[in-house]
Chain A
Amino acid sequence: MIRALLAVLRRDLLLAMRQRGDVANVLLFFVIVITMFPLGVGPDKDTLRLIAPGIVWVAALLAAILSLGRLFALDYADGTLEQILLSGQPLSLTVLGKIAAHWLMTGAPITALSIMLAMVFDMAVGPGATLVASLLLGTPSLSLIGAVGAALTLGLRGAGVLVTLLVLPLYVPVLICGALAVNASVGGLSPVPWLMILGALSLGATALAPWAIAAALRVSVE
């Protein structure tokens, strides 16, 4: 069972490495969206420092959603997904492998990029480190919850817009806790409680989301 999970993970990573452009585009999107905010709000450093955590988190949400299209769609189009469903391996586990690959290709690089963004927004070391930590703990749940939406909208007309509509409301707790962690750190409070909640959300999503994703995939593929 674990072997199947690892095999799927390896395969998805390999595929992603063969099409590096797709991965890079999502990251580029993340950076460009963030660049737009100072242009809209104005270059005042204090204002930007204040809204930086919110901007980075919202951009991370959007980037996660944008990348969801690739999660199952390619496998669905070429029939791989049917083979995975027929393979006799527990679907919730193989799906977890796919999501782990998705996170490694979106959540992890976004977290790494946020170090640079914290410097761009002139954040202090403490809040900057909190931002990175919150993204590290929060982005797995973005991949997990998003995958439910991606599985539900598989092969539908206008799936891209629909998945945004379905998934963004469900991202609210992650967004709130992520931004609160950074704000607590800015205000001189300990961000640890919020980081713990973010971790708890990710763990809870890891436990529950694969079931929902597996059910949704079965509905979509049959």
Chain B
Amino acid sequence: MQTETIRPLRFGFHRFSAPPEFYRLAGRLIPWFGLLAAVSAGLGLYLGFFVAPTDFQQGEVYRIIFIHVPAAWMAMFIYAVMAFWAGFGLAFNTRMSSIWACAMAPTGALMAFLALWTGALWGRPAWGAYWAWDARMTSTLILLFLYIGFMALHSAIDDPRRADRAAGVLALVGVVNLPIIYFSVQWWNSLHQGASISLTRAPTMAATMLEAMFVMMFAFWMYSIAASLARARAILLEREKRSSWAQQMAQE
């Protein structure tokens, strides 16, 4: 591979955009992110399930919020990051960024699904129905469809570079559309309780609840990074299977 013979800048971060470097770095980082995810998830769940006070209106059932809200946040955030890297790959024709976008999609879809699933479980005792066609549930569902569309398009195209670029265009179209979808669905119907955490208002939740929420948020971040890195590594190895470094790595 050409990339191995080019001497990168000493401290340049971009040298990790060379596949072998990225592969090595990712391999070293995954256990750490995984460990952080496990520890903070344990701590967050402990805080959420045992330390945080019982909600006076909803009782114990509200505790699903500690999974529901971080998952919903991650679902939205990952789409934005994915679209950014997909667009970056489209504009500068960099392989790694497209692979990175591609690696994030399943995690994002998982988060959207998790948010919907926990939301349904929460909705049953809180609203009396698993599913209410309210604005945020519906827009999260559409977000899940967008993720699925991204993955479906990518897997329908055999040539990986063409798949990267086509999916990149789709991700960008989706990211332009997302706010429009979000607002239109909100006009369409709004039953959902307002945002639980707002940057402008004082939080209405107890401090321990908030702490547990942020610890869980951190855990979801770490998990998402670890999972995406692992997936990116696998995609990379598969695509570079003809290069010498990949064969070396695969044998180790």
Give complex CA distance A201, B183 in Å.
Answer: 13
A153 in contact with B153 given A170-B173, A212-B172 (CB within 8 Å): yes
Name which residue of chain B comes closest to A175, CB basis: B184
B180-204: contact bitstring with A at CB < 8 Å (1 yes, 0 no)?
1101110110000000000000000
The B interface, classified by DSSP as helix, strand, loop or mixed, is helix
Select the stretch in A30-38, A110-118, A155-163 that faces chain B: A155-163
Pick from A165, A172, A208, A220: contact of B166, CB below 8 A: A220
Q: Which chain A residues lie closer than 8 Å to B184 at the CB level?
A: 172-173, 176-177
Give complex CA distance A219, B165 in Å.
Answer: 7
Which of B142, B149, B172 gathers most chain A CB within 10 Å? B149
Pick from B157, B174, B187, B188: contact of A170, CB below 8 A: B174
Give complex CA distance A128, B166 in Å.
Answer: 40
Whether B187 pairs with A158 at a CB distance below 8 angstroms is no
B235 contacts the other chain (Cβ, under 8 Å)? no
Give complex CA distance A220, B165 in Å.
Answer: 9
* Chain B contact patch, size range: 20 to 34
Give complex CA distance A219, B157 in Å.
Answer: 11
A167-194: contact bitstring with B at CB < 8 Å (1 yes, 0 no)?
0111011001100100000000000000
* Chain A contact patch, size range: 20 to 34
B246 contacts the other chain (Cβ, under 8 Å)? no
Give complex CA distance A160, B11 in Å.
Answer: 49
A216 contacts the other chain (Cβ, under 8 Å)? yes
A156 in contact with B180 given A148-B173, A169-B142, A212-B173 (CB within 8 Å): no
The A interface, classified by DSSP as helix, strand, loop or mixed, is helix
Q: Which chain A residues lie closer than 8 Å to B43 at the CB level?
A: none
B207 contacts the other chain (Cβ, under 8 Å)? no
Whether A162 pairs with B156 at a CB distance below 8 angstroms is yes
B 133-191 contacts with A by CB, 8 A: 142, 145-146, 148-149, 152-153, 156-157, 162, 165-166, 169-170, 172-174, 176-177, 180-181, 183-185, 187-188
Whether B188 pairs with A169 at a CB distance below 8 angstroms is no
Whether A216 pairs with B169 at a CB distance below 8 angstroms is yes
Which of A158, A162, A172 gathers most chain B CB within 10 Å? A172
- Beyond contacts A169-B145, A219-B162: 4 other A-B pairs, Cβ-Cβ < 8 A, are A158-B156, A169-B142, A176-B187, A219-B166
9 residue pairs bridging A and B, Cβ less than 8 Å apart: A152-B153, A156-B156, A157-B156, A177-B184, A177-B187, A180-B187, A201-B180, A208-B176, A215-B90
Q: Which residues of B contact A (CB under 8 A)?
A: 90, 142, 145-146, 148-149, 152-153, 156-157, 162, 165-166, 169-170, 172-174, 176-177, 180-181, 183-185, 187-188
